[in-house]
Structure 1
Amino acid sequence: MLRSDARDNRNRLLEAARAVFSEHGLDVPMREIARRAEVGPATLYRHFPTKQALVEEAFTDELRACSGIVRAGCADADPWRGLCAVVTRITELNAHNQGFVDAFLSSYPGAVDFAAHRAGMLRSLALLCRRAQEAGSLRADFVLDDLILVFMAGRGLWATPPDVRVAAARRFAALTLEAFRASPAGTALPPPARVARAAVNG
């Protein structure tokens, strides 16, 4: 068990890492995280020997939240409603935390938990999308890669001012879902960009 001072240092490091990763993504040097936490680099590396370990620990709550969003959407008896909830809530999550999006989409080198979590999420979403297509709610030419493109594009929401970021995320999600909705008058799409395999493999 950690002593109280060591536990305090660990908590401060995690809090600083979440803040810095959220603001700037994963490319922030470890020294900057130590500086933000007001501890020395040695203290940081004593608790987190690698950046990978810090990333995984910092985003445990986000991983759990993301998993819950997908689970709830897939459990909805109405697959279109479930898909709408997933797209909207994950887009909002992305808008709040650039670091989590970077880690989740790119799989920080060696972050096995992220890769496994992402692969499982995509398998569940593929089934949900298939159900929505079979119900006639999701356009027939939709492919899972389209959803990955939306999540990738959603990273740009971080560039919006903080006071409008949630509104921008909801608007972006609503526009996306309108594009995904099945419609007799819907125009044909260009060939899909095959990005799902790359997303799964990092």
Structure 2
Amino acid sequence: MAQREGGGLRADAAQNKERLLAAAREVFAEQGLGVSMRQVARHAGVSEPTLRRRFASREALIAEAFEDKVVLYAEAAEAALGDLDPWVGFTSFLRQMASMQLVDRGFAEMLTMTFPASMRYEQGRRRAWDAIQRLIERAKTAGRLREDFVAEDIVLLLLAHAGVVAGSGRLAERFSARLLGYLLQAFAAPGAVSLPPAPSVAETYRALLRLHDNDPA
């Protein structure tokens, strides 16, 4: 009889699941989250029905594949709060997010999705969002971040950065550094030109959802 790991999945079943997750992480990193379950199954060397027996939907697969990374995202935001210089903490966090995005095309897309079935994922993302709000307030209080900056502007940065990464190939790292340089100058106080009103949280969320509406299932 096959052994069970801590009363959970049998050892061979757990290994098979991890193999599927590893394949999904590779495909998502290289191509983003628009890939189909069939493409993930092909990369893992299994049939699509086999993949779907373990993960009922692509959302369930994405949630488990990115659980560890969203925890790192939260930890990075919390670690940035420990910097004595609020502006350095804020900008170093944004640079770290951009670096993560350079090696994983699915990263920014993953941050715009919700996975109510994955409590670990959602808890990690809420931790990160709370820390980001505090990073923003610290930088504003220090007089280094423009007063009209909002957390949704970080989503804007990541989406813009994703386009640059996707379109610049081998020069992605250099283009990334240039874009971040411009954006961080724009974010800095006092802000040379007033910005148009920012979209609301609900409007931002609806716009992000539309990015996934046409993705293959």
Same fold flag (TM > 0.5) = yes
Moved over 6 A (4+): none
Residue 131 of structure 2 is aligned to residue 140 of structure 1: no
What is the aligned-residue identity percentage? Answer: 34
Q: Any idea what SS the aligned residue of 2:112 has?
A: helix
CA contact (8 A) 1:115 1:200 kept: no
1:41 maps to what in 2?
A: 48
1:70 match: 77
Q: Corresponding residue for 2:212?
A: none
Aligned partner of residue 147 in structure 1, secondary structure: helix
Structure 1, gaps ≥5 residues long: none
Which of the numbers 80, 83, 97 marks the counterpart of 1:90?
97
Mapped to 2, the partners of 1:87 and 1:192 lie a distance apart of 22
2:106 matched to 1:99? yes
TM-score (norm 2): 0.78
Deviates more, 1:192-201 or 1:51-60: 192-201
Larger deviation: 68-77 or 5-14? 5-14
TM-superposition CA deviations, 1:170-191 (whole Å, max 9, x none): 33222211111224xx422232
Q: Among residues 19, 40, 60, which one is paired with 1:12 in the alignment?
A: 19
Where do 5+ consecutive residues of structure 2 fail to align? Answer: 210-217
Amino acid at match of 1:192: P
**Structure 2 residue 199 is matched with structure 1 residue 194:** yes
SS at match of 1:14: helix
Distance of aligned partners of 1:109 and 1:160 in 2 relative to their CA distance in 1, 3 Å threshold:
farther
1:104-123 aligned within 5 A:
104-107=111-114, 114-123=121-130
SS of equivalent residue, structure 2 residue 38: helix
Are the aligned partners of 1:105 and 1:199 in contact in 2 as well (CA < 8 Å)?
no
Which residue identity is paired with 2:55?
F
Which of 59, 66, 79 is the aligned partner of 1:59? 66
- Partner Cα separation in structure 2 for residue 177 and residue 112 of structure 1: 33
SS in structure 2 opposite 1:75? coil
| More displaced stretch, 122-131 vs 85-94 | 122-131
Q: Supply the RMSD in Å over aligned alpha carbons.
A: 2.6
Distance 1:108 1:7, change over 3 A: closer
Partners of 1:55 and 1:144 lie apart in 2 by 24
